Structure 1
Amino acid sequence: MSQGQPRAAAIFRTAAPSLLLVVVVLISLVIGKYNVSMRDIVTVIGAKLTGVPSGLPATAEAVVWNVRLPRVACALFVGASLAAAGTVYQGLFRNPLVSPDILGVSAGASLGAVLGIFLSLPVLAIQGLAFAGGLGAVGLVYMIGAAVRGHDPILVLVLAGVAIGALLGACISLLKVLADPYNQLPAITFWLLGSLASVTRGDFLSVLPAMIVGLIPMVLLRWRVNLMTLDDQEARALGIETTRMRIILIAAATLMTAAAVSISGIIGWIGLLVPHVARLLVGPNFSKLLPASLLLGGGYLVAVDMLARSMAQIEVPLGILTAAIGAPFFIWLLMTTRRGWQ
Structure 2
Amino acid sequence: MVLAAGVSLMLGRYPIEPAQALAMLASQVPGVTLEPTWTSQQATLFFNVRLPRIMLALMVGCCLATAGAAFQGTFQNPLVSPDILGASQGAAFGAAIAILAGQAAFGVSVSAFGFSILTVMLVLLVSSRAKGNRILVTVLAGTMISSLFSAGVSFTKLVADPTDDLPAITYWLMGSLTGAKMSDIAIAAIPMAVGMAVLFALRWRINILTMGDDEASTMGIDARRLRLFIILAATMATASSVAISGMIGWVGLVVPHLCRMMVGSDYRRLIPASMLFGASFLLVVDNIARLTATSEIPIGILTAFVGAPFFLYLITRKKKV
Q: TM-score, normalised by structure 1?
A: 0.90
Which residue does 2:28 correspond to in 1? Answer: 48
Distance 2:237 2:36 in 1: 36
Which residue does 2:304 correspond to in 1? Answer: 323
1:290-301 mapped onto 2 (5 Å cutoff) = 290-301=271-282
3-state secondary structure, aligned to 2:302: helix
Q: Percent identity?
A: 41
Distance 1:38 1:133 in 2: 42
Distance 1:216 1:22 in 2: 21
Rate the CA distance shift 1:337–1:300 in 2: closer, same or farther, 3 A: farther
Distance 2:318 2:151 in 1: 37
The CA deviation string for residues 179-237 of structure 1, in whole angstroms up to 9 with x for no partner, is: 11011111100000000011111111111111110012212212111000112111111
Distance 2:168 2:313 in 1: 34
Check conservation: 1:102, 1:158, Cα contact below 8 A.
yes
Distance 1:163 1:330 in 2: 22
- Corresponding residue to 2:76 among 94, 115, 118: 94
Check conservation: 1:99, 1:272, Cα contact below 8 A.
yes
Distance 2:152 2:314 in 1: 35
- Quote the offset at 1:23 in angstroms: 2.3
Distance 1:43 1:310 in 2: 24
Distance 1:235 1:310 in 2: 48
3-state secondary structure, aligned to 2:22: helix
The CA deviation string for residues 147-192 of structure 1, in whole angstroms up to 9 with x for no partner, is: 112x001111100001100000011111101111011111100000
Q: Give the AA of the match of 2:10.
A: V
- Structure 1 gap segments, 5+ residues each: 1-20
**Would you say how many aligned residue pairs link Structure 1 and Structure 2?**
319
Check conservation: 1:267, 1:318, Cα contact below 8 A.
yes
3-state secondary structure, aligned to 1:49: coil
- Quote the offset at 1:77 in angstroms: 0.7
- Quote the offset at 1:117 in angstroms: 0.6
Which residue does 1:80 correspond to in 2? Answer: 62
Q: Give the AA of the match of 1:174.
A: F
Which residue does 2:115 correspond to in 1? Answer: 133
Which residue does 1:155 correspond to in 2? Answer: 136
Distance 1:54 1:338 in 2: 60
Residue 177 of structure 1 pairs with residue 141 of structure 2: no
Distance 2:311 2:281 in 1: 14
Which residue does 1:215 correspond to in 2? Answer: 196
- Corresponding residue to 1:116 among 95, 98, 122: 98
Q: Give the AA of the match of 2:248.
A: I
- Quote the offset at 1:336 in angstroms: 4.5
3-state secondary structure, aligned to 1:303: helix
Q: Which moved more, 1:323-332 or 1:226-235?
A: 323-332
Distance 1:328 1:156 in 2: 29
- Quote the offset at 1:98 in angstroms: 0.3
- Quote the offset at 1:41 in angstroms: 1.5
Residue 259 of structure 1 pairs with residue 240 of structure 2: yes
Distance 2:185 2:91 in 1: 17
Check conservation: 2:200, 2:272, Cα contact below 8 A.
no
Residue 250 of structure 1 pairs with residue 231 of structure 2: yes
- Quote the offset at 1:22 in angstroms: 2.3
- Corresponding residue to 1:285 among 252, 259, 266: 266
Q: Which moved more, 1:301-310 or 1:33-42?
A: 33-42
Distance 1:88 1:339 in 2: 26
Distance 2:286 2:318 in 1: 28
Check conservation: 1:45, 1:65, Cα contact below 8 A.
no
- Structure 2 gap segments, 5+ residues each: none
Point out 4+ residue stretches in structure 1 off by more than 4 angstroms.
Answer: 336-340
3-state secondary structure, aligned to 1:27: helix
Q: Give the AA of the match of 2:12.
A: G
Which residue does 2:12 correspond to in 1? Answer: 32
Distance 1:47 1:269 in 2: 38
The CA deviation string for residues 77-104 of structure 1, in whole angstroms up to 9 with x for no partner, is: 1001000000000000000110000000
- Corresponding residue to 2:126 among 144, 149, 160: 144
- Quote the offset at 1:339 in angstroms: 7.5
Distance 2:279 2:269 in 1: 16
